């Protein structure tokens, strides 16, 4: 029951407590952790370099983003990119991601009773227990350490706070913090909402650049501390391939559209982010990859709601700056080591899920490149 699904006063309080944890100064030290995780992934890719055959990259990217979030959330070294098959928590995370998607697209499973009586519901409860037990144990150990006032002072002063530190130290106006149950819910939300969506974003960005190699060299020539053109490419890919292709809201009051039609309170309103991003009345040649759309002079007159990869309004994605940082780091470091080429025999087939995926995976070929010092 974290930020993603909570509402009302509970959501408002949690959002206010968590927002400082995603401030620029807090996120900045995470960049080095993200870079380390990306380099581990790129080292693994050496096996595929300079071969005239493609490989499926989403699985690699997903492990990398999970590794990154584990480091940023728990300060935890899991080696999950190398030993993913032996870590019960990592396996539980993947099992839950699969089952949540399965439940979303299986109508009878929308009923709690039918889902939890099914074999998939049993698997869901089993994986949930593993994930919850792991999170609770990490919280217990960290709280035990915080009983030492010196340790609390050290954590509050250290530059590289992890997400768990921030949750444990968060206080409202009455100096009340979050309960252990609330902390667990927010950590689990951060894990599940963060790793799969960011992995989707990075995978589709690399695919776009493989399809349009003329943009790769320009990105490659940028100073890594300032990557404006890479950022334009990231945004254009997020427009064409939004990691969360749709969102919905339950109306708390009646809503009247511009043509006079009214939708009553209590209805669910679905919004196609994918459709908004390809709206021909807003975007010229909407299916064409054109990073220049996001130059300041081209985006100034455009509605801020024409581009919503992280949703919009008060319930927008609290971790959007974290995700953007990770995507930019991953793309910049990948391009400095490899030239990306698409596989014309394996064009991705987009499928509508909670997170935008490809039915047949995302396959690329890579070649090593040399960057002049």
What number of other Cβ atoms are within 10 A of residue 22's Cβ?
A: 16
Does residue 131 belong to any structural domain of this protein? yes
Q: Tell me, what CATH number does 148's domain have?
A: 1.10.630.10
Please determine, for residue 155, whether its predicted confidence score (pLDDT) is greater than 60.
Answer: no
Number of structural domains, the chain? 1
Whether residue 373 lies inside any domain: the answer is no
Quick check: is 2 in a domain? no
- For residue 39, the model assigns a pLDDT of 96
Tell me the pLDDT tens digit for each residue of 104-153. 889 999 899 999 999 999 999 999 999 889 888 888 888 887 776 555 56
Determine the pLDDT at residue 76.
Answer: 80
99 and 105 in contact (C-beta within 8 Å)?
no
Let me know if residue 26 belongs to a domain: yes
Residue 324 is assigned to a structural domain of this protein: yes
Is residue 342 pLDDT above 80, yes or no?
A: yes
Give the Cα separation of 291 and 216 in Å (integer).
12
Q: Looking at the predicted structure, is the pLDDT value of residue 158 above 60? A: no
Instruction: Say what the pTM is.
Output: 0.90
DSSP helix/strand/coil, 308: coil
Q: Where are the beta strands (DSSP E) in the chain?
A: 55-56, 246-250, 255-256, 262-263, 268-272, 338-342, 350-351, 357-358, 363-368
Residue 234 lies in a domain: yes
Look at residue 153 in the predicted model and tell me its pLDDT: 61
Q: Tell me, what DSSP letter sits at residue 149?
A: H
Q: Is the pLDDT of residue 71 over 80?
A: yes
Q: Stretch 8-22: mean pLDDT, rounded?
A: 83
Query: Which residues span the domain enclosing 76?
Result: 8-368
**Could you report the per-residue pLDDT of 194-205, keeping only the tens digit for each?**
888 999 999 999
Is 267 assigned to a binding site? no
Average pLDDT of the chain is: 88
Residue 1 lies in a domain: no
Q: CB count, 10 Å around CB of 352? A: 13
Separation between Cα atoms, residue 49 and residue 149, nearest integer Å:
51
What's the CA gap between 289 and 291, in Å, rounded? 7
pLDDT band of residue 264 (cuts 50, 70, 90) is very high
């Amino acid at each position: 029951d974290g930020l993603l699904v909570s509402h009302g006063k509970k959501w408002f309080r949690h959002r206010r407590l968590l927002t400082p944890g995603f401030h620029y100064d807090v996120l900045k030290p995470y960049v080095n952790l993200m870079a380390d995780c990306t380099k581990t992934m790129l080292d693994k890719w050496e096996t595929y370099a300079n071969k005239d055959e493609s490989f499926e990259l989403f699985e690699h990217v997903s492990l990398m983003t999970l590794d990154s979030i584990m480091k940023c959330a728990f300060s935890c070294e899991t080696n999950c990119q190398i030993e993913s098959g032996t870590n019960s928590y990592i396996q539980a995370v993947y099992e839950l991601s699969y089952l949540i998607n399965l439940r979303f697209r299986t109508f009878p499973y929308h009923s709690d009773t039918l889902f939890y009586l099914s074999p998939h519901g049993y698997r869901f409860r089993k994986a949930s227990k593993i994930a919850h037990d792991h999170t609770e144990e990490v919280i217990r150990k960290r709280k035990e350490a915080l009983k030492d006032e010196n340790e609390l002072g050290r954590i509050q002063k250290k530059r590289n706070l992890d997400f768990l530190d921030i949750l444990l130290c968060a206080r409202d106006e009455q100096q009340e913090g979050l309960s252990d149950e609330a902390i667990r819910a927010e950590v689990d939300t951060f894990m599940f909402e963060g790793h799969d969506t960011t992995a989707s974003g990075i995978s589709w960005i690399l695919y776009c650049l493989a399809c349009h190699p003329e943009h790769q060299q320009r990105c490659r020539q940028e100073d890594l501390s300032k990557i404006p053109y890479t950022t334009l490419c990231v945004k254009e890919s997020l427009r064409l391939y939004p990691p969360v292709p749709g969102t919905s809201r339950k109306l708390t009051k009646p809503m009247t559209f511009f043509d006079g039609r009214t939708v009553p309170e209590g209805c669910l309103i679905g919004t196609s982010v994918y459709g908004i991003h390809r709206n021909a009345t807003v975007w010229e040649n909407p299916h064409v990859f054109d990073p220049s759309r996001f130059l300041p002079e081209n985006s100034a007159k455009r509605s801020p709601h024409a581009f919503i990869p992280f949703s919009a309004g008060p319930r927008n994605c609290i971790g959007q700056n974290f995700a953007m940082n990770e995507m930019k780091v991953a793309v910049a470091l990948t391009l400095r080591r490899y030239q990306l080429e698409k596989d014309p025999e394996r064009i991705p087939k987009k499928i509508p899920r909670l997170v935008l995926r490809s039915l047949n995976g995302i396959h690329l070929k890579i070649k090593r490149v040399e960057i002049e010092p």
